[in-house]
Amino acid sequence: MRPILLLVVVVMLLGGAVSELPPPERSYNILMVLMVASPSHRNVFVSLAEGLADRGHKVHMLSCLSNFSTARNITQHYVGLNIMDDLPFNVQNS
């Protein structure tokens, strides 16, 4: 069992498990629709969009939040509608 564990550790240290991905063969136009106006949800998807933009993809984000990323390949489309405003109870205070 120890030789297998040692082999796994050696492979990880040599960079097999932590190396960067190869560049994509071509770039894609990606549309991301953020339905929830929560900063926590926004942070997750902005990080994902910035990673895709860093790899050469053009990302279009449709959201009810404005001005949340300055990456060069990310285009923000502000909708102005907030799904949280239509709920029958106040989510911000609960």
Tell me: the pLDDT tens digits for 49-81? 988 998 899 999 888 877 776 778 899 888 877
Flag whether 79 is in a domain. yes
Strands 74-78 and 29-33, bridge-based pairing: unpaired
Domain count, the chain: 1
Flag whether 54 is in a domain. yes
Angle CA 38–73–79, to nearest 5: 40
CA-based nearest residue to 81, from 31, 33, 37: 37
State if pTM tops 0.75: no
Flag whether 14 is in a domain. no
Q: How far apart are CA 84 and CA 36, in angstroms?
A: 7
Flag whether 4 is in a domain. no
Flag whether 80 is in a domain. yes
Flag whether 51 is in a domain. yes
Print the domain residue range for 77: 24-94
DSSP E strand stretches across 2-94: 29-33, 58-63, 74-78
